[in-house]
Structure 1
Amino acid sequence: MNPIFVAIDTPDIDRALDMAEAVRAYAGGLKLGLEFFSAQGPEGVRRVAALGLPIFLDLKLHDIPNTVAKAVEALAPLAPAILTVHAIGGQEMLGAAKRAAPPATKVVAVTLLTSLDAGDLVDLGIARSPADQVGRLAWIARDAGLDGIVCSGAEVAKAKSAWPEGFFVVPGIRPAGAEVADQKRVVTPARALEDGASVLVIGRPITAAADPSAVIAEIAASLKTEVIE
């Protein structure tokens, strides 16, 4: 499985389609999030999916169990390869989401946003370190029957060790030398894979580049070289 999923973060359908076309030769899939879905809805997802790449629908659902289950049922016709819910919603909500999802859809729980760090957790009244918070929520997700979690590269090795069969989506991926922007816990693509990532979510380093196709080709080549070595 090609682990590179490109984050198409735009409300504009034409830009989304152009970007998807530019990266399709090297991408394993495309991530569509709230920005895109709020503007384009299910029909926009269908148009992007028609290009033939798996879709990671990153909506981070979080509500009472019945509401989340109904939302997942409503999204089922889109057949996303991956769908996100918030781990903080609790075990009952997570289980309801998984039961409502199509069998082929991997439901993964967002643990701690990569824009947050230890200081942010203190502000939120959480006394755990980021790694401990991710670990705690990973256990809840596993017990609820989910396929895996979303976590940063800083936590994926520990999560993989505790949950060998888990599916680990790692955002905040930055090739060496790339701008970090608003991400606080980032790693390189090769390091994330080495530590146990199943999927690498890469956005702005590719989509904001002058030549997105060349950038993703370079990333893909670097990962193949890493495997060979």
Structure 2
Amino acid sequence: MKIERPIIALDFPNAETAYRFLDRFPKDEHLFVKIGMELFYSEGRAVVERVIGRGHDVFLDLKCHDIPHTVASAMRVIGQMGVALTTLHASGGREMMLAAKEGLLDGAGGNNVPQLLAITQLTSTDENMVANEQLVRVNLQESVRNYARLAQNSGMDGVVCSAQEAAMIMEATAPEFMRITPGIRMVGNDHGDQKRVMTPDQAAAQHSSGIVVGRAITQAADPVAAYRQVMHLWRGERE
């Protein structure tokens, strides 16, 4: 499944700033946005509910990682919020992922269950970190492939990965297994703390299922025009 709209990362320090950004778009424009740790920890559940109330789809990206019972309890709460996507770390293991899915299903009551994505390796991770900090005995690509297979076998709906690994994951799992890719930049953009990045059209060519775009849109002089440009590239359309 391909998510046709770019997912905008609302990486803002508070709700007021996020709402001012959203107000720059036409009122009838239904966006797909990501609420991550910074905004959620600042504003809590209320910001999620208000953004959904404005007619937008929400990817709640809290990257849960704890003992299975704790993650299941957290997912039970997330399941009640009406979000479209949410995340945990694949490195938490199969038991944690199974418990998370059970908690999510329970919280949603079987209605509009969020799709659950497992983080493989963060896009800020490189080969040096895998080898010398994580002390993983395989290379970065093999680590990502392993986590993707583990996630699929543990009932996850997809993974969050670099677009550089999306095609590899599609071959290693199933075509319908989602590959959501952050680290999307436009040509000439600063990479910031991201190491494994791609442009929207490159991500599409690598079989990403959805792209998450932050600074290229949120820090643009004209965010609406920047969003349209990203969407054209992502969809392979002419402007």
TM-score normalised by structure 2 residue count: 0.90
Secondary structure at 2:24 match in 1: helix
Conserved 8 A contact 1:5-1:30: yes
Equivalent of residue 56 in structure 1, options 59, 66, 73: 59
Partner of 1:162: 172
Provide the rounded CA distance (Å) in 2 between the counterparts of 1:3 and 1:126.
Answer: 35
Determine if the alignment matches structure 1 residue 20 to structure 2 residue 22: yes
Q: What is the count of residue pairs matched by the alignment?
A: 227
- State the distance in 2 between where 1:211 and 1:76 align: 34
Provide, for residues 160-179 of structure 1, a one-character-per-residue CA deviation record: whole Å limited to 9, x for no partner: 11222201110001122211
Shift of 1:191: 1.3
Which residue in the other structure is 2:195 paired with? Answer: 184
Amino acid paired to 1:222: L
Percent identical pairs in the alignment equals 36
Give CA deviations for 1:163-206 in whole Å, capped at 9, x if unaligned: 22201110001122211111000011111122111110000111
Match of 2:224 in 1: 213
* CA shift for structure 1 position 3: 3.5
Match of 1:117 among 121, 126, 129: 126
Residues 26-53 of structure 1: CA deviation (Å, up to 9, x unaligned): 7740000000110100011111222211
| Structure with greater proportional helix content | 1
Q: Residue 74 of structure 1 aligns with which residue?
A: 77
TM-score (norm 1): 0.93
2:43 is matched with which residue: 27, 40, 43?
40
Name the structure 2 match of 1:145.
Answer: 155
Displacement of 1:79 in angstroms is 1.4
Report the Cα distance in structure 1 between the residues aligned to 2:149 and 2:31, rounded to whole angstroms. 28
1:4, 1:199 within 8 Å by CA — same for their partners in 2? yes
Secondary structure of the structure 1 residue equivalent to 2:44: helix
CA deviation after TM superposition for structure 1 residue 127, in Å: 2.4
Q: CA deviation at 1:80?
A: 1.0
Q: Residue deviations 1:85-116, cap 9 Å, x none?
A: 00000001011111221353100000101011
CA contact (8 A) 1:79 1:105 kept: yes
Q: Report the Cα distance in structure 2 between the residues aligned to 1:131 and 1:23, rounded to whole angstroms.
A: 38
Tell me if the contact between 2:127 and 2:140 (Cα under 8 Å) persists in the aligned partners: yes
Q: Which runs of 5+ in 1 are unaligned?
A: none
Note if 1:128 corresponds to 2:130: no
Where does structure 2 lack aligned partners over 5 or more consecutive residues? none
Deviates more, 1:124-133 or 1:180-189: 124-133
For the residues of structure 1 that align with 2:154 and 2:94, how far apart are their CA atoms?
Answer: 5
Matched to 1:129, the amino acid is: N
Q: Which amino acid aligns with 1:52?
A: G
Q: Displacement, 1:76?
A: 1.7
Residue identity opposite 2:130 in structure 1 = L
Report the secondary structure of 1:78's partner residue.
coil
Structure-2 separation of matches of 1:212 and 1:220: 12
- How far apart, CA to CA, are the structure 1 residues paired with 2:36 and 2:138? 28
CA contact 1:11–1:38 (8 Å) conserved in 2: no
2: CA distance between counterparts of 1:43 and 1:52?
15
> What amino acid is aligned across from residue 182 of structure 1 in structure 2?
D
